[in-house]
């Protein structure tokens, strides 16, 4: 559906939700387990995240990094206008984001951090150490966890739950990185696995670019997956502290996303030529029963 055909609010809602579902089948499915009152605000905020991400991952291929950085600056300006109560009236995104801000008082910092993550990509900053990986993942993933908190927690609990929300966002971002190694180097020439890990496990960028899962690559991926798993565990107490009406949906999202790591294992660690995919039936099973560790043990034997 084109935005040019959005004549009614119902049309806008349909377009926002379809965009959400198109770009994140897992998160949009998990959002269905959240209260209806927050589903559309979450989809709207996700649309903002996609606007920022698409500049760093898609537009840059069309217009180059310098113009992409200019577009990021424009998004920053429009965000400032929106949060100040004067959203640009030429796009659904900004009008609806202003409504969400009026209702939930969105925190500015995580929104700006996501933009800083796009700048990191467009300036081609390297990820050399594990700490670089965590710092980057916090900007582009931890920020998303933090910005979603106003929809998920009771008023006044942002400070107590922010750390756990960021841990979950970092875990999901590292999961993305593990899943997308092949696509990132093929399409963008980027490697998000830390240079120190590539050297430790004797894996070259050339091998990644050629789609060769060399000896040591599985161990390298397990190091990344171990990091992701630790951040998932660090988020558990925060998830448990959420109100029941939101806890179920966020726990479902965490379980569904974490299972991508097992799918990488099921593909014999070949994420250079095969995209890890969690089936719908498995996602729904994980909502009710978490057997991640059992399956991980079977796949590693």
* Pairwise CA distance, residues 266 & 264, whole Å: 5
pLDDT at 160: 84
Give every CB contact of residue 17 below 8 A, 6+ residues apart in sequence: 28, 39, 40, 43
Show the domain range for 102. Answer: 7-300
How many domains are contained in the chain?
A: 1
**Any idea which residue has 């969400």 for tokens?**
100
pLDDT at 7: 77
Residue 198 placed within a domain: yes
The alpha-carbon radius of gyration of the chain (Å, integer) is 19
235-254 pLDDT, tens digit each: 999 999 999 989 999 999 99
User: What pTM does this model have?
Assistant: 0.94
pLDDT at 156: 54
Residue 2 placed within a domain: no
pLDDT at 184: 97
Q: What number of other Cβ atoms are within 10 A of residue 9's Cβ?
A: 10
Residue 12 placed within a domain: yes
134-191 pLDDT, tens digit each: 999 999 999 999 999 998 887 657 778 999 999 999 999 999 999 999 999 999 999 9
Angle between helices 92-104 and 36-54 (to 10 degrees): 130
Would you state the structure tokens that stand for residue 173, as one six-digit string?
């971002």
pLDDT at 2: 47
Provide the sign of the torsion angle of the four alpha carbons 103, 109, 111, 112, taken in this order.
positive
Residue 38 placed within a domain: yes
Residue 246 placed within a domain: yes
271-281 pLDDT, tens digit each: 999 999 999 99
Residue 14 placed within a domain: yes
Residue 293's domain is classified under what CATH number? 1.10.600.10
Q: Tell me phi and psi for residue 123, to 5 degrees.
A: -90, 0
């Amino acid at each position: 559906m084109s935005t040019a055909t959005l004549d009614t609010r119902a049309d806008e809602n349909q377009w926002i939700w379809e965009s959400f579902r198109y770009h994140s089948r897992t998160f949009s499915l998990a959002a269905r387990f959240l209260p209806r009152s927050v589903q559309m605000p979450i989809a709207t905020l996700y649309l903002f995240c996609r606007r920022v991400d698409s500049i760093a991952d898609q537009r840059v291929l069309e217009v180059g990094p310098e113009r992409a950085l200019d577009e990021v600056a424009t998004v920053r300006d429009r965000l400032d206008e929106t949060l100040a109560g004067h959203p640009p009236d030429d796009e659904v995104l900004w009008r609806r984001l202003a409504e969400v801000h009026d209702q939930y008082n969105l925190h500015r910092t995580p929104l700006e951090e996501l933009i800083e993550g796009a700048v990191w990509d467009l300036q081609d900053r390297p990820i050399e150490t594990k700490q670089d990986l965590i710092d980057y993942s916090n900007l582009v993933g931890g920020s998303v966890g933090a910005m979603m908190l106003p929809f998920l927690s009771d008023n006044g609990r942002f400070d107590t739950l922010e750390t756990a929300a960021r841990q979950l966002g970092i875990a999901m971002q590292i999961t993305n990185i593990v899943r997308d190694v092949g696509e990132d180097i093929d399409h963008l020439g980027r490697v998000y696995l830390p240079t120190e890990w590539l050297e430790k496990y004797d894996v070259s960028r050339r091998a990644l670019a050629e789609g060769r899962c060399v000896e040591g690559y599985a161990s390298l991926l397990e190091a990344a997956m171990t990091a992701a798993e630790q951040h998932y565990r660090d988020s558990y107490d925060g998830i448990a502290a959420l109100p029941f009406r939101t806890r179920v949906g966020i726990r479902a999202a965490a379980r569904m996303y974490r299972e991508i790591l097992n799918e990488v294992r099921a593909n014999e660690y070949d994420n250079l030529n095969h995209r890890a995919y969690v089936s719908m039936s498995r996602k729904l099973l994980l909502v009710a029963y978490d057997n991640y560790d059992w399956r991980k043990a079977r796949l590693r034997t």
